[in-house]
Amino acid sequence: MPKKILFAISDTGGGHRSAALALTEAIRQAAGEDVNCTMVDFLKATQLPGIRNAPAIYNYASSRKVWLYDFFFRLTNDSRRMDRITNLLFPLAASRFEAEIRTVNPDLVVVVHPLLVRAICAARKKGGFRWPVITVVTDLVSFHASWAYAESDLCLAPTEEAARILAQYGVPPEKIIYTGFPVHPKFSTSHSQQQARQALGINPDAFTVLITGGGVGSGKMYDIVKTLEKVCPDKQLLVITGNNKELYQTLSAGRQPGSLTHVYGFVNNMETMMAASDIVVTKAGPGTIMEVLAMRRPLVITQAVGVQETGNIDFVVNHKLGFSCSDPAGIAQIVNRMTQPDAAWAVNSENLHKIPADGAGKIAGLIRERLASLT
C-alpha cells in the first residue's frame, strides 16, 4: 500500500502551493508510486466566514491595502497570542478539519503555511491521530511567530537565519533542520535560453526582462513596465500578472502584434519564463527569489509586500545575491547597465553556491526517512 502524505496549505499568495508542489515532485522522483501526496487548503476548509476567504483577502490586502495586512501580521505575531487564537477558533472548525483528514487518512502531515501549524497539531490531538507533523517554513528570514511550534515533530528551515529564529522562538534545537528552500526540481540550470524563447514564440535575440509579482501580481508592476518600455524600448518584457486580472487587462489593452512586451496571466511554466529571460525583476516573494537563484538569473528585488518579506530583501542584499531597487527609473538603469559589454553581475558566486540547490530533495529524503520509521 502506498504511504499517504497530506500537505496542509492555503492559497494566500502562490508560495505555499508552489512549495507543496515542489515537494510532491521531489517525493515522486525519489519514491515513485510508493507515496501518494494530497493537498488541502485548510483555511478554506474551515468554512468560517473571514477565514475561509483568506486567499481572497490576502489577494486584496497585498495588492491594495498592505497596511491592513501588516496590521494583522503585527497584531498576531506572538506565540502566546497565537495559542489563544487557536484555542478560540479551532473548536469552531475542528469537525471540518477532522473530516478532511479522515478523507485522506494520511501517514504523515506536512504543514507549509504558518497559520496552520497549531491547528493541525490541535486536530491531531483531538482526533487521537498518531501521524507525525513536519513543518516546512517557506519564509526566508523575517517570519510570523506562528511558524514556530514545539509540538510539530520537525521544523525545517530554508536558511541558516530561519533556523536561528526558530530556536529563538522556542522550538527545541533537535527538531530544527536547515534543509534549504523547497524549490521545484524544474527550476535548474539545465534549460536552454534559445529553446525557451522558441517555446514561448518570442523574439529570440532581444535582451529579455521578466517582471513578476508573486501569485497575486502585486508590487508596482504597472509603473515598472511603463518605465522600462519608455527608457529601454529595445528590451523584451515578459510580464506575469499572476491572479491580478485588472493588471492583466490594463497592460494587455491596445497592444499591437509585434510588441516587445508580452503580458501573461497566471502561468504554470515559470521555469520556461525564467529560462527565456536575462534578468528577473520581482517583489520580495521567497518562492520566486529562490527559483531565480536556482536558475542562476540576475535578480532585482523591487519591494517587500508585507512585513514578512522585508527580511528577504536583506537576505538577498547581505549575501550579495542580487540588487534591491524600488524606483522604476533605477530598475531601468540596472537593466540598461546589464547589457553593456563590460557588465558584471554583482553577485557573489561563492555565496550563491552556498545556498542549498536541492532543498526539495533534502526535505523529500527526511520525509521518506520519517515514513520508513513508522513501519
Binding interface with ligand UDP (CB under 6 A): 13-15, 18, 212, 214-216, 240, 242, 266-267, 270, 285-288, 291
Q: Provide the grid cell at 114.
A: 504558518
- Cβ proximity to ligand UDP: between 58 and 97 the closer is 58
Instruction: Say how far apart CA 342 and CA 242 lie, in whole Å.
Output: 34
Shortest CB 125 distance to ligand UDP, Å = 29
Shortest CB 83 distance to ligand UDP, Å = 25
Instruction: Say how far apart CA 296 and CA 56 lie, in whole Å.
Output: 32
Shortest CB 306 distance to ligand UDP, Å = 8
Shortest CB 184 distance to ligand UDP, Å = 7
Shortest CB 148 distance to ligand UDP, Å = 19
- Cβ proximity to ligand UDP: between 132 and 182 the closer is 182
Determine how many CB atoms are found less than 10 A away from the CB of residue 317.
Answer: 13
- Cβ proximity to ligand UDP: between 46 and 288 the closer is 288
Shortest CB 132 distance to ligand UDP, Å = 26
236 and 208 Cβ atoms separated by less than 8 Å: yes
β-bridge partners, 143: none
State how far the alpha carbon of 246 is from the alpha carbons of 136, 203, 238, in Å: 33, 26, 17
Determine how many CB atoms are found less than 10 A away from the CB of residue 173.
Answer: 8
**Residue among 122, 100, 120 at smallest CA distance from 40:** 100
- Cβ proximity to ligand UDP: between 109 and 216 the closer is 216
10 Å CB burial of residue 48 (0-12, 13-18, 19+) is middle
β-bridge partners, 7: 39, 110
- Cβ proximity to ligand UDP: between 14 and 361 the closer is 14
Three-state secondary structure of 176-220: EEECCCCCCCCCCCCCCHHHHHHHHCCCCCCCEEEEECCCCCCCC
DSSP state of 138: -
- Cβ proximity to ligand UDP: between 13 and 114 the closer is 13
**Residue whose C-beta lies closest to ligand UDP:** 285
Shortest CB 187 distance to ligand UDP, Å = 8
- Cβ proximity to ligand UDP: between 29 and 103 the closer is 29
List CB contacts of 326: < 8 A, sequence separation 6 or more. Answer: 220, 302, 303
Instruction: Say how far apart CA 221 and CA 233 lie, in whole Å.
Output: 17
Coil vs helix vs strand at 117 = helix
Q: Which residue has the cell 477558533?
A: 89
Shortest CB 10 distance to ligand UDP, Å = 11
- Cβ proximity to ligand UDP: between 214 and 328 the closer is 214
